Chains A and B, each alone.
Chain A
Amino acid sequence: MNDVAAAPEPVRSTRKTGRFVYIASVGLLCAWVLVPLYFLLINTLSSPETVNSFPKPFIPEFDMGSMSFFAGYGGMLSALKNSIVVAVMTMILSISIGAPAGYALSRFDFRGKELFRMLILLTRAFPLPLLALPLAVLFIRTGLDDTAFGLALVHTTLAIPFAVLITFSLFSGIPIELEEAAWTLGCTRLTAFTKVVLPLILPGITASAIFAFVISWNEVFAAAVLTIENRTLTAFLLVKLSEAPLHLKFAGGFILVVPALVFIFAVRKYLFAMWGIANR
């Protein structure tokens, strides 16, 4: 009897230790992501003097000095505006070009479908920012150099594979029977799409549009190669890295991070669905 009662005791205690190690490592990994972000936040919300002083406080002093310096720095606000303009263009271009292809992939079997999917997947195995080099020459010839639209075209190339794959997975999630029912009730292919499918996938489309926005917002290399006067925020910060004071860099970095936090939160439901389908 004694043996039976004693046996589970060590088992339970190893379980307990295991459980503790598990929770501790989850917490540690969360801290690994969050603590560096917190440091950036402290720097952003401190006065320029504090940012350049030593040692650093570990609590933000909620001084807007760095932020107002950032806003007043010559060219920074227009760079911010350029970033937003390019990202919005990228968003519109990649969804309006990519979504029809996503629909075609999910609803039709056609010759060349595999080839087309290969082309899409191929773009992801290439260092795409390198495209900016030849396009810089091409854009000068066509008058697109140093324009928001020219850069948006390159960023759309980056975003389009994702737009196609995400919308493909979204459309695949809507049973074709819904569309067929709408057809029998007198809808055409187009009205069935706009009245039945579109309302259902609109949240998902929004998510993938936000994704396109962030891809463009974050891109550094092509932006730095293709813009001279009309720099985006990333390109502007990159060329100012060697000369800019620390508080400018940190405030700029913070502004770059904010949309990312919103983005991940907005698309968190779709993040895994979209990569799951991209695996096959």
Chain B
Amino acid sequence: MNPRLLPYLLILPVTLFLGVFFIYPFVLVSQQAFSTGGGFTLDNFRDVVSYWKFPISFKNTMLLAAIVVPLQLVLSLLMATMVSKMEKGRDLVLYVWTIPLGISDLAAGIIWLAIFEQSGFLNSMMSGLGLIDQPVNFLSYQNPLIIFVAIALAEIWRATAIMLVILVAGIGLIPKEYYEAAEVFGASPWKRFTKITLPMLRPSLQTALVLRVVLAFEVFAVVAALGGTLFPVLMGEIYSYQFDLMNNNAAAALALIVLAISIFFTLIILRVLRVPKGATI
């Protein structure tokens, strides 16, 4: 066999698979979104956007991402720096910190439900401390702020690990000589962090943020477990278009909107954190 053909033969299965199950479905979903059975139309988008739940679910999704992602970025940077200078117990600490990486968003929602539900651990602790006499129903429609906080906490708890792993791997790639040189010239730890770690970490920050932001727009099961219908988000609306309203075209249109938002923010992140030419390690 011609050895020049071998690599193409090896990548053929993945290419075919992604062609059929990644690219083709996107063509299909666009078709669905732009048609109502007849020809080309924008009606589905008009319907979806003018539905009364759209502004609130859009706002909720965006607000959640805007609060959660920056907090996660700070937290994961902090954790990654802490780990990088750890001598003893590094493996154990990293194992513990990365546990949520393997936990499903549904399970994370249920875990935080155990804390926030009416007979849950937060109420138990507060009554143990004598702060309340009666258990409070935190996750009711009267406490929209607490529902938001519970969902945000569950998201931060669950999805910081993925950023942490990427950043720890990224910090591992930065040559130690840079830090040694900086130390020789008397740079403080904070200076070393802002002048070496952050700039050198740019490719990792890019990857981590893109992944995390796209996941943030996909938030669904955590919300379903904690907020139910009290906190509508875009993915939940897509799900209810598909099943409760049996409107595939509207579901497809909303899906394309989520997709457009994801791509828009991906491009922004890539642009803001672009690596200058010739500045790679």
Chain A positions within 8 Å of B, measured between CB atoms, are 22, 25-26, 29-30, 32-34, 36-37, 39-40, 43, 51-56, 58, 96-98, 100-101, 103-105, 107-108, 110, 113, 116, 119-120, 123-131, 133-138, 153-154, 156-157, 160, 164, 189, 214, 217-221, 224-225, 234, 237-238, 241-242, 246, 249-250, 252-253, 256-257, 259-261, 263-265, 268, 271-273, 275-276, 278-280
Instruction: Give Cα A25 to B228, complex, Å.
Output: 34
Bound CA–CA A250/B110 (angstroms): 6
The listed residue (A22, A56, A259, A276) touching B102 by CB distance below 8 A is A259
Q: Report which of A98, A126, A131 forms a contact with B262, defined as CB distance below 8 A.
A: A126
Residue of A nearest to B8 (CB): A110
Q: Say whether B273 faces chain A, with CB atoms less than 8 Å apart.
A: no
Minimal beta-carbon separation of A152 from chain B (angstroms): 11
- A contacts with B: majority SS: helix
Are B28 and A218 within 8 A (Cβ)? no
Q: Are A125 and B262 in contact (CB under 8 A)?
A: yes
What 4 pairs across the A-B complex have the smallest Cβ distances? A260-B102, A253-B110, A218-B104, A134-B28
Cross-chain contact A30 with B97 (CB below 8 angstroms): yes
Verify B115–A135 contact, CB threshold 8 A: no
Scoring B residues 67 to 98 as 1 if CB is less than 8 Å from chain A, else 0, what string do you get?
Answer: 00000000000010010001000010111111
CB-based contact A221/B218 at 8 Å: yes
Q: A30 near B120 (CB under 8 angstroms)? A: no
CB distance from B225 to the nearest CB of A (A): 6
CB of A100, distance to nearest CB on chain B (Å): 4
Q: Does B62 contact A (CB under 8 A)?
A: no
* Given A37-B111, A134-B28, A265-B95: A276 in contact with B220 (beta carbons within 8 A): no
Contact A97 B13 (CB under 8 A): yes
Cα distance, A219 to B10, chains bound together (Å): 28
Residues 160-191 of B at the A interface (beta carbon under 8 Å): 165-166, 168-170, 172-173
The 9 sampled A-B contact pairs (Cβ below 8 Å) are A36-B157, A97-B17, A100-B10, A133-B251, A137-B248, A157-B17, A160-B17, A217-B104, A276-B172
- With known contacts A241-B224, A279-B169, A260–B118 Cβ distance under 8 A: no
> Are the C-beta atoms of A39 and B111 separated by less than 8 Å?
yes
17 new A-B pairs (CB below 8 Å) besides A54-B118, A133-B238? A26-B86, A54-B135, A55-B124, A55-B127, A56-B124, A125-B263, A125-B266, A130-B259, A131-B26, A214-B102, A218-B105, A225-B242, A237-B110, A249-B110, A249-B113, A261-B99, A268-B98
Of B36-44, B48-56, B203-211, the segment with at least 4 beta carbons within 8 Å of chain A is B203-211
Q: Does B101 contact A (CB under 8 A)?
A: yes
> Would B112 and A101 count as touching, CB distance under 8 A?
no
In the bound complex, how far is the Cα of B11 from the Cα of A107, in angstroms?
Answer: 12
Chain A min CB distance to B186 (Å):
15
How far is the CB of A134 from the nearest CB of chain B, in Å? Answer: 4
Check A260 against B173 for contact (C-beta < 8 Å). no
- Which residues of chain B come closer than 8 Å to A153, judged between CB atoms? 21
B66 an interface residue at 8 Å Cβ cutoff?
no
The smallest beta-carbon distance between B224 and chain A, in angstroms, is 6
In the bound assembly, the distance between CA atoms of A110 and B10 in angstroms comes to: 12
B242 touches A133 (CB 8 A): yes
Which residues in A have their C-beta under 8 angstroms from that of B172? 272, 276
Q: How far is the CA of A278 from the CA of B173 in the complex (A)?
A: 12
CB distance from B119 to the nearest CB of A (A): 4
- The answer to whether A125 touches B214, judged by C-beta atoms less than 8 angstroms apart, is yes
Partner of B114, one of A103, A157, A250, A268: A250
B128→A131 contact, CB < 8 A = no
Given contacts A30-B93, A256-B107, contact A97 B214 (CB under 8 A): no
Known contacts A101-B14, A110-B8; A224 and B239 CB within 8 A of each other: yes
Q: Which residues from chain B contact A154 at a C-beta distance below 8 Å?
A: 21
The residue that B104 contacts in the complex, of A220, A275, A279, A280, with Cβ under 8 A, is: A220
Q: Quick one: closest B residue to A217, CB to CB? A: B104
Contact among A40, A120, A221, A234 for B239, CB-based, below 8 A:
A221
Given contacts A33-B97, A55-B128, A133-B29, contact A221 B221 (CB under 8 A): yes
Closest B residue, CB atoms, query A137:
B248
Contacts of B112 in A (CB 8 A): 36
CB distance from B170 to the nearest CB of A (A): 6
Known: A125-B262, A260-B99, A280-B203. A133 touches B124 (CB 8 A): no
- Whether A52 and B119, one on each chain, are in contact in the complex, defined by CB atoms closer than 8 angstroms, is yes
For residue A219, which residues in chain B have a CB less than 8 angstroms away from its CB?
104
Judge whether B255 is part of the interface by a CB distance below 8 angstroms. Answer: yes
Complex contacts, A51 vs chain B, CB 8 Å: 119
- Give the CA-CA distance A34 to B95 in the complex, in Å: 11
